[in-house]
Structures are given as C-alpha cells and as structure tokens.
Amino acid sequence: MEREVFQDDIIYEIVSFYGDFKFLVMNCALVSKQWYNVILSTCHNMTVKCHSNDVNGQFLQNIANLEIKVLSNIYKKLILMKSLTSLCIPYVVGVKIDSESVTYIGQLKQLTSLEIQGMDIDDEHVESMAELKQLTSLYISGNYIGSEGVKIISESFNKLTKLNISANYIDNVGAKYISQLKQLTSLEIACNDSIGDAGIIYLSGLEHLTNLDISRIKIGSGGAQYIGKFEQLTCLNINTCSIDDEVLQSISQLKKLIVLHISENEISIEGAKYISKLNQLTSLYISESGIRFEQARIYQ
C-alpha cells in the first residue's frame, strides 16, 4: 500500500510554484500516484513551449499558456486544452498557418490572449475566429488583414484592451472600425501606409489609450491637430511619419506623455522647441532627425 507523506493540499502548494509543463509532468507527477492525481485535478495553469508535435496525454487539459513553434497536427489537440487562456504562435521563417488550423483555434472560446505573427492570416481566417469573445489581448501583426477583417474584430472582440495589428492592409475604413473598440488602452497600428489623416481622426476617439504606435504612417495637416487629443497617452511611437511643426505642436499638448519615439523625422528648430515643452518626458528617442547643435541646446 502506497504511503502518503503529504496531504493533497500540501502537494498542491508545492507544485503551484511551478508553471512549467515538462517539469511537472516528467518529474512531479512521477513521484507517486497521489502526486499524479493532485497535479491532474488541481493544476490548471501550466505553461509549455511546443517545439514538436509530441504533445500528448491527460495533462493537455491543464495547459494554460502555450507557445507553438512547429505547426501541423498539434492544432487538433488544442480543443483538449480546457484550461488554455493564452496562445502564442510567433513568426517562423517558411512556416504558415492553414485554414483547418485556424478553425481549431477558433474553438478555443476560453482564450483571453492570442498572438499570431507573420502567418498569412487574412479576413477569412479572422472570421473563423470570431467566437473568441473573451479576448482581451490580440497580437496579429505581419499578416494580410484588411477592412473586412478589422470589421469582424471590432464586432466580435469588444473586450479587447490591447491590439497589435501592425503591418497589415488597414486603411481609413479599417481605422474607423478599430475606433469602435472603446476599451483599448494599447494600440499598435504601425506600417499600415494606407491610413491617412482621416484614419488618425477616427482613432482619436479612443479615449482610454495610454500606448499608441503609429510609426510609418504619414500624418498631414488634417490629422496633425488630432494627435493632441490622445490625452491619456504615456507612450507614443511616431517614428518615420514625415511629421512637421504642426504635428509637434500637437504632441506638446500631451501632458501625460513620458516616452516619445520620434526618430527618422526631420525636426526643425521650431519643432525642437515644441518637444522641449514636454517636461514630464523620461525617455526621448530622436535619432536620425537632423538635429543640429543649436537644436540640441534647446533640450538642456
């Protein structure tokens, strides 16, 4: 007869310090039948990085955070992961995701965080994931998402607080749909060069944004004055946006801004004066901006 050295609640306290799937399954769960049963029934916050398709067993239901680097049959096993709330599929050279795999992802209705970068996700794929109503964080940069895909995102994921949709095919219409995600606190929409002043005007209605990345989006006189309407911003990335003094004047109105990325823009002496008014800044990134000695003195 197997002797119990610890009570179940003591074992739970011990293993709760570990979130590593492999360690718990290959070590702790093998201590005894009692340890195995406690881990299987109570540990629902495991983290695993998947580098192969060899993920099997009863413990799949206990995985809460999963990073996939090798794609194929692993997607069919996702529906067994009843505790999964965070799924990360980072960019891997030469690896893309297919429609069947996206269908399996779309069944993970308990997900709160999803990251799929550079996997050729398009509007149809987004539609397949429309039932992920619990998402609060979505990182989907480097794909092929256009206005229709963004429309689905705005209608389906109204709990989103963080969205990275950089380097897709978003235009002003797409920006209008994004502006309907009123809970957003962080938005990264860089490298969508079809967004213009109209798109900036739409986005200025996101009153809760504290982090905004609109780098590599050209901002003209029509959108310049609206930059200053992001009153809650603490971090702004506006690198490579062909900005002028009017934009910098608008930025100088952001009294809560503490981090500013403004590299690869031609900054005039007048523009430098506007930046110098941001006394609350703790970090300023301003490389390759044509700053001369007389301009640099303004920041002192």
Question: Where do the structural domains in the chain lie, given as residue ranges?
Answer: 218-300
pLDDT in tens, 80-110: 777 789 999 888 787 788 898 899 999 999 9
d(CA 239, CA 65): 33
For residue 49, give the nearest of 66, 64, 63, 62 by alpha carbon.
Answer: 66
Rounded CA Rg of the chain: 24
- Asked if 43 contacts 15 with a C-beta cutoff of 8 angstroms, the reply is yes
d(CA 256, CA 212): 13
pLDDT in tens, 220-230: 989 999 999 99
With a cut of 90, say whether residue 32 has pLDDT above it.
no
What the block records as the tokens of 65 is 């955070």
Strand (E) positions, 104-169?
113-116, 137-139, 162-164
For residue 194, give the nearest of 171, 165, 166, 173 by alpha carbon.
Answer: 171
pLDDT in tens, 143-196: 999 999 999 999 999 999 999 999 999 999 999 999 999 999 999 999 999 999
Query: Which is higher by pLDDT, 247 or 63?
Result: 247
Confidence of residue 29 (pLDDT cuts 50, 70, 90): low
DSSP state of 20: B
What is the distance of C-alpha 91 from the center of its chain?
Answer: 14
Confidence of residue 217 (pLDDT cuts 50, 70, 90): very high
For residue 200, give the nearest of 212, 185, 186, 183 by alpha carbon.
Answer: 212
- Tell me phi and psi for residue 18, to 5 degrees: -115, 130
d(CA 268, CA 292): 9
Q: Residue 10, exposed/middle/buried by CB under 10 A (0-12, 13-18, 19+)?
A: exposed
Q: What is the pLDDT of residue 59?
A: 46
